[in-house]
Structure 1
Amino acid sequence: MTSDDRTLHRQAALVAGRPAPHIAPRRQPAHRISSDAEAIAIAHDLAKDFAAGAVARDRERKLPIAEIERFSQSGLWAITVPKDYGGAGVSTATLAEVTAIISAADSSIGQIPQNHFYMVEALRLAGTEEQKAHYFGRILDGDRLGNAFTEIGTRTPVDFKTRIVARDGKLLLNGQKFYATGSLFAHIVVAVAKDDRERVQIVFIDRATPGLALIDDWSSFGQRSTGSGTVTFDDVEVSPFQVVDHDVVFERPTPMGPLAQIVHAAVQVGIARGALAETISYVRAYARPFFELDIEHGYEDPHSIHTVGDVSIRVHAANALLVRAGHLLDAATAEPNDRTVAAASIAVAEVKAYGTEAAQLAANKLIELGGARSTLEAYGLDRFWRNARTHSLHDPVRWKYHHIGNYYLNGLLPPRHGAI
């Protein structure tokens, strides 16, 4: 791609969207969380406030800039930094629970740090000691990592045209990304690119670096305020210190793939929780009985009672699968090998598949039991279904069942990549 081509691509994206919002530099270091229990308590406190504005943010496509600042300043974005580097090093089960708690309140906010945690894990597994000390320190202080991973217009979502090349004694990054969840809110944009050896690298780029452009052009009907739009790189100059090998973490058994996926699974479980809680609240407050019934309140309808019971069982099952997957992933982190990593990957695939179905069922039954009034825009209840459906497309659930079946029936280990 020539310089003129890159300029045209960037201009076209800007026409379709808006320039990135201003993200102010950090004024003070973030709070440092010291335990799993503290992380979960802080998540519950934040979720109460995030839930209050969720309907308005969804309706107006309002980016949750203030909410994300509170989220990262709370220390929750640093909970997976290892203890040896000053972090809390919480369990994966805790990371998943924190994500589910926030996602039940607002699943867009719950999804935004997913790639941040993915890149923290990449640093843990593949970074040099100098890179870990530097970037873990910034993350502990409150800096946020944003994703610039997937491209459109390629044969598959993980084919990359974005390149990092040596030219005139410099390393230059060029390309264009989409679905860049988190980048609009990031202090450091993390790009995935191929080098001249065709190896995939991840590149850590400060937000203000010349040649980096962020565009707010995400127009999906769900997850509206994730800001998952376009990022372009036009001769962005980087140093070797900013580059970490991405391929190496999948060339041996590591928890990288299931770690990425358990956060996505937790988003779905959170949506399921939120939809069920909203169903119970709404039906208790507003649902009217069917006219054939001689009852006073809609919540006395035997079919509604049965449905809430059915959805509750499924949500509780999804919660249990999430905890189980977290424990197996912790075991794989402590002792990574073919057996432990495969078991963790399959357990995460199970909760991703089942949690996705539970979220969509709960979101659908919310509207069904709520009745015609529940479709009014003022309530914003459709956001649960739109968010669950949109987020589920990150990677196809049908392939989860394929790998799960092959594992149990044929003893085949799942492949190593970020979507299993």
Structure 2
Amino acid sequence: MTEHNTYLRPATADLEQLRERFAPIIERVAEGNLERERKRIFPYEQVRWLNDAGFGTVRIPVEFGGLGASLEQAFALLADVATADPNVAHVFRNHLAFVEDRLNAPVSAVNDAWIKRFLNGEFVGGGWTEANGLTQANMATRITAADDHYRLTGSKFYATGSLFADWLDVIGRGDDGELLTALVRRNADGVTLIDDWTGFGQRTTASGSARYEAVRVEREDVFPAAERFSYQPHFYQNAILAVLTGITRAAFRDGNTTLSQRKRNFPQGLDPNPTADAQLLAVVGRISVDVFTADAALAAASRSLDHVVAGRLTGDAAGARRRLVEAWVAVSQAQLTIIDAALHATTAIFDALGASSVAEEKGLDRHWRNARTLASHNPTVYKARILGDWFINGTDPVPSVVTTGHGGQGN
């Protein structure tokens, strides 16, 4: 029996048609990427181009005015954007996640309004991570009732995409200690966004601080965190993997271009012409495998999330937990795979290039810097152990729901 009480519907889009739709814009996004990286210029125009073309509504079913993409198609498109500019792609992570959350929400006048906002191009930024080293378990951000509305007070870091946003998705504790998420207008009184991100990667994602001082939030824009969509951590992690996949492709592309332009080879080379040197060609061949591996792993992980959605659409409540575990396993395996591929590709490509390849104007270092930064969001050091514990001991690997202080944005 099909479930009709949410906005989820079977995908109807064709990936090639979607790629044709966005290809001209993605090409424009690629222009100036190196300059933006070098001078730390935020890609306001580039994000707006994509959003105006409907990229932020790619997952909304055609029935409701969107593009009807599957999760596999949506993450493939996100990887395409990341190949052009990973910072632009990463800015969309929080927006796409909140769209997914509203698609999973019950049909209502409030959620109809959110779907309409998305279709009108309104954009959502993030704000979950507590400032000052606090975690969700000891969260200081408060969302307190006040007459017919709420008041939000607290501080966040890693507020990725907030400077590009119309709305900010913020988590905090209510009067009774319950975790709540509040959607706050970026220009509301009491909201302060601070460009204080100092990481050596993600330089133009606006991943700095956000402060909220008694900010008014309408009651219809506050939701219990426990009601967020079940595969939310999987989704956030997979979005990072899509960006890493794009970075892997970009390193391969730019490395190949640089090698093809080399005029002289190392004294130990097998051929005076670098493009005929078998050892250098082998480096390129190995990195092509990194690209293939990343693409394949991303597709497999994304399909596992579509499998979770399919279970919701058919009303398979009995199999819901199994599908969620299978998706966590697939996304975690993809995380280990794609991070290895991205870090290898962005480093090994220099083995096929001369010393001139490290010139700042070439910007080849940006691929490693961005990959290393993204790979550090949810460290892989724990994932292999948790996977092993699942396969050997059957220990449930899925993070506790956000109400316990764990889970959330990619675990």
Counterparts of residues 270-281 of structure 1 (less than 5 Å):
270-281=246-257
**1:373 and 2:356 correspond:** yes
What's 1:292 paired with? 268
**Is 2:172 the partner of 1:193?**
yes
Aligned to 1:232: 211
Report SS of the residue matched to 1:112. helix
TM-score, L = length of structure 1:
0.87
User: CA 1:42/1:89 → structure 2, altered by over 3 Å: closer, same or farther?
Assistant: same
Residue 123 in structure 1 maps to residue 102 in structure 2: yes
1:80 aligns with 2:59: yes
Q: How does 1:152-301 map to 2 (within 5 A)?
A: 152-156=131-135, 159-167=138-146, 170-249=149-228, 254-286=230-262, 288-293=264-269, 295-301=271-277
- 1:381-418 superposed Cα distances (whole Å, 9 cap, x missing partner): 10000000111111111222223222323333322333
- Which of the numbers 323, 330, 353 marks the counterpart of 2:336? 353
1:10-52 deviations in Å (ceiling 9; x for gaps): xxxxxxxxxxxxxxxxxxxxxxx96543332233322222222
State the shift of 1:127 in Å: 5.6
Comparing 57-66 with 410-419, greater Cα deviation is found at 410-419
Deviates more, 1:76-85 or 1:353-362: 76-85
* Mapped pair 1:398 → 2:377: no
| Pair 287,259 (structure 1): closer, same or farther in 2 beyond 3 Å | farther
Query: 1:384 matched to which residue of 2?
Result: 367
CA distance in 2, matches of 1:150, 1:127: 27
**Partners of 1:153 and 1:237 in 2: CA distance:** 23
Q: In 2, Cα distance between the equivalents of 1:108 and 1:402? A: 30
Kept in 2, the 8 Å contact 1:287–1:369? The answer is no
CA distance in 2, matches of 1:170, 1:44: 43
**Matched residue of 2:247: which SS?**
helix
Cα distance in 2 for partners of 1:335, 1:382 equals 43
- Please give the secondary structure, in 1, of the residue aligned with 2:339: helix
Assess if the C-alpha contact under 8 Å between 1:43 and 1:101 holds in 2: no
Distance in 1, matches of 2:179 and 2:82, equals 31
**Which residue in 2 is equivalent to 1:414?**
397
Q: Comparing 137-146 with 398-407, which one deviates more in the overlay?
A: 398-407
Q: Quickly say closer, same or farther: Cα 1:154–1:295, change in 2 above 3 A.
A: closer
Residues in 2 aligned to 1:117 and 1:169: alpha-carbon distance in whole angstroms: 29
Aligned to 2:316: none
CA contact (8 A) 1:278 1:366 kept: no
Q: TM-score, normalised by structure 2?
A: 0.88
Structure 2 residue 315 is matched with structure 1 residue 342 = no
Q: Which residue pairs with 1:41 in the alignment? A: 20
3-state SS of paired residue (1:238) = strand
Q: Cα distance 1:282–1:157, how it changes in 2: closer, same or farther (>3 A)?
A: farther
Q: Runs of 5+ in structure 1 lacking a partner?
A: 1-32
The answer for the alignment partner of 2:8 in structure 1 is none
1:135 matched residue in structure 2: 114
- The yes-or-no answer on 1:53 pairing with 2:32 is yes
The Cα shift of 1:169 comes to 5.8
Alpha-carbon separation, structure 2, partners of 1:127 and 1:175 = 29
> In the TM superposition, what whole-angstrom CA distance separates every residue of 1:156-207 from its partner, at most 9, and x where no partner exists?
3674211101246642100111110111000111111111122221111222
